[in-house]
Amino acid sequence: MSDAPRFFDELAAPGGEPRPPYEGYCAWFDGEDITRLRRKAADAERFFRRTGITFNVYGAEEADERLIPFDIVPRIISGREWARLTRGIEQRVRAINAFLYDIYHRQEIVRAGRIPERLIARNEAFLPQMIGLAPPGNVYTHIVGVDLVRTGEDEFYVLEDNARTPSGVSYMLENRETMLQMFPELFSHIRVQPVQDYPTRLARSLAACAPTGCSGRPVIAVLTPGIHNSAYFEHSFLADHAGADLVEGTDLRVVDGRLAMRTTRGYTAIDVLYRRVDDAFLDPLNFRPDSVLGVPGILDVYRSGGITLANAPGTGIADDKAIYSYMPDIVEFYTGEKALLPNVPTWRCSEPEALKYVLDNLSDLVVKEVHGSGGYGMLVGPAASKRELAAFRAKLEARPANYIAQPTLALSTVPVLTRAGLAPRHVDLRPFVLVSPKGIDITPGGLTRVALKKGSLVVNSSQGGGTKDTWVLEE
């Protein structure tokens, strides 16, 4: 009998027949010439390269610009599955916003003993400057990305919350545009929910978050660190498609108590700034004095209610991985309900018993930095060498509070196109959520990231992963 792990195959049932969401696609695929599909895959790569859809991988010396691999086989989710996911996502996002308001005001969750005070007070993502400050509409996380993994037919887990500056939505949109151009016949007989209107929905949602003093149509801008940032393509893409101005810190200044951008007609006041600059670099007068990416005095304008910053400063504490381990408590505390989408079991290495367990089982676990992202600074125990395990053990022992650990999940697989045909690869999913005083808007689908290496569980593009179009079927 084989001891190989069993993974949930989203394409095929145990008997080999396609699962219901894939029936229409498989019927089409069986009638296709594999050589034609390979040519289409090559065409897609040329299209992405020509369009400039790249990202930067930061190495030891300088950033390396790469193309994110795109797989032309869609990931397909049924309308029933999606309806269940959206209920859980909405519940979680509401709880996150309530949590952020609370910790910057009365800290009732700390008073109730549901979260240790040290996790807030000593957290580098917690901004004392935000204490007592309520953003317009009490919205902290205007744009959220919730990373989901699947382990069974009805088993979904939240792997991570992205509440600071979630990226990847431009790839979701370009993936769909590419599929529509290459396989229009598929969309004529398979009813797929659209995602192309996301930029319009983004602009509408941000406009609804404008400060109370805003009169007329809100002026919206996207603040980018500049062309050398790994997500610059996305910044310019979203500004262009949402009808917003793309600005850098040098384009902005405070004029008469308002944040204004330089234009050919002088300086124009901004109502909503979708900022893709980290908290520390946002305002050199209030945060890092050496920052050249932000705007001196922007936080003072924010405090006075003169501008909406999306996402609000200080939201990063909500996607801190130590806080993540308390999310079931956070959801229950603010909603009065059990979390519809469970967390992945998590060991907090700051706790002596948990640390001992992690050190004793390091080769079987995934260990992540509390403030890490993008797949950097993590250990995948089953794939690590003895030398890597020893090095990481030393890091854990030196700074245990800097890490959390999780079991190596049996991530579901979806098909990718290989030379031999279709082959299973592991995936996760990042749906994108827009939050405004008018409600929560979840785009049907999101960004599916796929581990293109056979057997790999690491889907991050920075670690060799790719992306694919995500289809949510109409009911």
pLDDT higher than 80, residue 65 = no
Residues 351 and 284 placed together within one structural domain of the fold: no
CA angle, 196 as apex, 194 and 197 as ends, to 5°?
Answer: 95
Q: How far apart are CA 325 and CA 346, in angstroms?
A: 6
Token pair for residue 156? 């979904």
Closest CA to 145 of 98, 89, 101: 89
Structural domain contains residue 365: yes
Q: How far apart are CA 324 and CA 314, in angstroms?
A: 15
pLDDT confidence tier of residue 3, bands split at 50, 70 and 90: very low
Q: How far apart are CA 346 and CA 326, in angstroms?
A: 9
Residues 42 and 83 placed together within one structural domain of the fold: yes
pLDDT, greater one: 473 or 420: 473
Residues 300 and 352 placed together within one structural domain of the fold: no
- What domain range includes position 382? 345-408
Closest CA to 269 of 282, 256, 280: 256
Taking only the tens place, the pLDDT of each residue in 259-278 is 999 998 899 999 999 999 99
Structural domain contains residue 142: yes
Residues 460 and 395 placed together within one structural domain of the fold: no
Of the ranges 49-58, 106-115, 226-235, 377-386, which one carries the lowest mean pLDDT score? 49-58
Residues 91 and 184 placed together within one structural domain of the fold: yes
Average pLDDT over residues 59-65: 47
pLDDT higher than 80, residue 356 = yes
pLDDT higher than 80, residue 461 = no
Q: What is the DSSP string of 414-432?
A: EEEEETTEEEEEEEEEE-E
Residues 413 and 424: beta-carbon distance below 8 Å: yes
Residues 102 and 167 placed together within one structural domain of the fold: yes
pLDDT higher than 60, residue 213 = yes
Q: How far apart are CA 38 and CA 469, in angstroms?
A: 17
The per-residue pLDDT of the chain, averaged, comes to 91
CA angle, 154 as apex, 153 and 157 as ends, to 5°?
Answer: 110
CA angle, 125 as apex, 120 and 128 as ends, to 5°?
Answer: 70
Q: Is 428 exposed, middle or buried (0-12, 13-18, 19+ CB in 10 A)?
A: buried
Average pLDDT over residues 429-435: 97
Structural domain contains residue 15: no
Taking only the tens place, the pLDDT of each residue in 181-197 is 999 999 999 999 999 99
pLDDT at residue 53, rounded to an integer: 65
pLDDT at residue 45, rounded to an integer: 87
pLDDT at residue 2, rounded to an integer: 37
pLDDT at residue 463, rounded to an integer: 67
Structural domain contains residue 7: no
Report the predicted TM-score, pTM, of the whole model to 2 decimal places.
0.92
pLDDT higher than 60, residue 94 = yes
Average pLDDT over residues 80-85: 96
Residues 253 and 391 placed together within one structural domain of the fold: no
Per the structure, the count of domains in the chain is 2
Residues 215 and 159 placed together within one structural domain of the fold: yes
pLDDT higher than 70, residue 54 = no
Residues 316 and 400 placed together within one structural domain of the fold: no
CATH code: domain of residue 383: 3.30.1490.270
pLDDT confidence tier of residue 460, bands split at 50, 70 and 90: confident
